[in-house]
């Protein structure tokens, strides 16, 4: 669930509840909520009318059944088949508020982790693994829930979500790129379906036609991904690590490796790779399939080697790989940036494992100017992003 923020290069070549029929079925998916591998069983309630005073959910993600968005923009920092390259229209990103994983080093922490301090404690304590630590952690979580700061964003109804999609399309977006929506799959599936059907009373031609991308952490369940089978064209899952100690320590999810492998396998079954020629030239557009992103963590390149080995054995030819070196220390995650020596080692493993189809970021060590600030109408530098909608300001 990353958005790339520097140049990439090829290395070889309920709201729902108001629009959809069957609303009770959709609502019931949130109560009790077992949408993601945390399977909290939380009752995610929604206030009457789905408007402002939305009670927080009691699950790990802390979100209610109301879909909340942070911002939408035309983003030019993604891989070329997603943005169309220099002459393309860019990717139409929609940032969902909240997150079911909550990595301690998240660059989007303002919109993903209103409970970040608590989550960080929890991540460390789960990795410590003792019963006392777990009990202490549960107390801290419940205290945090009482006094939490919700991640930035505001609830949107299905129709507003559809309008945002259509606004991105009308401004030339090559696709709709939904970032970090794993905890809100039912609402997002309904919103995409509404955008594809067109706004009620709007012009018939005003329907979503571009591909829809699902940009997630891969901490997802196959049965939840099934809810996206009619609406999502391209999956962009992270493969953060296959080391349960690392995912326990930094993401509070020792089961991440098993869950992510299963989710990625499911995505590859759901969508095979397909590209289309761009009418005006430029890179072929990715219109179906899976692109797996891996962020290299400083000091943990051996864990990257394991991910690359797994990709070579299970995904080569069925998915693309996108390697990211943009790690920037935020919070108690690994410190420092990727060194040139570490990057060189990782690139050598691509050759060793015969991985030659995908994208690789230039190392960006020492620079932080690209880090997003979601308090701003345009959270990203202007050369990377054109704002279309913001949770506080509405349409730009
Ligand atoms: S989506 Fe949220 S409430 Fe539901 S199981 Fe996952 S973390 Fe828990």
* Cross-strand partners of 179: 95, 215
pLDDT of residue 139: 45
Composition of the chain by helix, strand, coil, percent to 5: 35, 15, 50
Q: Is 219 in the pocket of ligand 1 (CB under 6 A)?
A: no
Averaged pLDDT score across all residues of the chain = 84
Q: Is the pLDDT of residue 28 over 90?
A: no
Please determine, for residue 100, whether its predicted confidence score (pLDDT) is greater than 50.
yes
The closest residue, in CA terms, to atom 3 on ligand 1 is 59
85: left (phi over 0), alpha (psi -120 to 50) or beta: left
Residue nearest to atom 6 of ligand 1 (CA): 36
Instruction: Say if ligand 1 is within 6 A of residue 119 CB.
Output: no
| Boundaries of every domain in the chain | 8-114+153-395, 115-149
Give 279 Cα–ligand 1 centroid separation in angstroms: 42
Q: Report CA(201)–ligand 1 centroid distance (Å).
A: 35
Which residue, judged by its Cα, is nearest atom 4 of ligand 1?
Answer: 33
pLDDT tens sequence across 103-153 = 988 989 899 975 444 444 444 444 444 444 444 444 444 444 444 568 899
Residue 39 Cβ inside 6 Å of ligand 1? The answer reads: yes
Residue 364: the pLDDT is 64
Q: For residue 17, what pLDDT band results from cuts at 50, 70 and 90?
A: very low
Distance between CA atoms of residues 54 and 71, nearest Å: 18
222-231 CB burial, b ≥16 within 10 A, e <16 = eebbebbeeb
Task: Report the Cα–Cα distance between both ends of the chain, in Å, rounded.
Answer: 24
**Which percentage of the chain shows pLDDT scores above 70?**
78
What average pLDDT does this structure show over 270-298? Answer: 94
Asked whether the bond before 32 is cis by omega within 30 degrees of 0, the reply is yes
**Which of 154-158, 280-284, 358-362 ranks highest by mean pLDDT?**
154-158
Average of pLDDT values for 165-178?
97
Is the pLDDT confidence value at 25 over 80? no
* CATH code assigned to 8-114+153-395: 3.20.20.70
Task: Please give the model's pTM, rounded to 2 decimal places.
Answer: 0.86
For residue 33, how far is its CA from the centre of ligand 1 (angstroms)? 6
Instruction: Answer whether 36 contacts ligand 1 (Cβ < 6 A).
Output: yes
Give yes or no for residue 329 having a pLDDT over 70: yes
Residue range 205-221: mean pLDDT, rounded: 95
Distance 62 CA to ligand 1 centre (A): 8
Task: Report how far ligand 1's centroid is from the alpha carbon of 295 (Å).
Answer: 24
- SS3 of residue 215 by DSSP: strand
């Amino acid at each position: 669930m990353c958005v790339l923020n520097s140049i990439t290069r090829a290395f070889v070549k309920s709201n729902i509840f108001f629009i959809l029929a069957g609303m009770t079925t959709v609502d019931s998916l949130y109560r009790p909520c077992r949408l993601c591998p945390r399977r909290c069983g939380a009752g995610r309630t929604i206030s009457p009318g789905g408007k402002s005073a939305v009670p927080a959910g009691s699950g790990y993600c802390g979100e209610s059944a109301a879909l909340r968005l942070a911002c939408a923009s035309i983003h030019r920092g993604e891989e070329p088949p997603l943005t169309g390259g220099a002459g393309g229209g860019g990717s139409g990103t929609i940032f969902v508020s909240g997150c079911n994983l909550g990595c301690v080093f998240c660059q989007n922490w303002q919109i993903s982790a209103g409970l970040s301090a608590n989550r960080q404690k929890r991540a460390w304590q789960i990795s410590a693994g003792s019963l006392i630590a777990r009990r202490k952690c549960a107390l801290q979580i419940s205290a945090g829930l009482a006094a939490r700061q919700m991640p930035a964003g505001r609830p949107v109804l299905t129709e507003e979500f559809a309008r945002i999609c259509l606004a991105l399309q009308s401004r030339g977006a090559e696709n709709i790129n939904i970032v970090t929506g794993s905890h809100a799959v039912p609402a997002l599936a309904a919103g995409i379906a509404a955008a594809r059907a067109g706004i009620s009373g709007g012009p018939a031609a005003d329907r979503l036609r571009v591909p829809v991308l699902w940009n997630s952490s891969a901490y997802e369940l196959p049965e939840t991904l099934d809810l996206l089978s009619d609406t999502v064209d391209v999956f962009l899952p992270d493969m953060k690590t296959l080391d349960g100690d690392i995912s326990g320590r930094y993401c509070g999810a020792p089961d991440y490796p098993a869950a992510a492998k299963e989710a990625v396998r499911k995505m590859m079954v759901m969508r095979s790779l397909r590209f289309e020629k761009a009418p005006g030239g430029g890179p072929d557009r990715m219109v179906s399939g899976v692109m797996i992103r891996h962020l290299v963590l400083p000091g943990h390149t051996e864990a990257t080697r394991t991910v690359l080995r797994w990709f070579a054995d299970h995904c080569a030819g069925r998915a693309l790989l996108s390697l990211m070196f943009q790690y920037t220390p935020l919070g108690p995650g690994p410190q420092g940036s990727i060194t040139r020596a570490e990057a060189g080692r990782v690139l050598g493993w691509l050759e060793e494992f015969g991985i030659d189809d995908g994208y690789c970021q230039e190392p960006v060590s020492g620079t932080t100017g690209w880090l997003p600030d979601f308090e701003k109408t345009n959270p990203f530098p202007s050369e990377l992003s054109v704002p279309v909608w913001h949770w506080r300001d509405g349409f730009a």
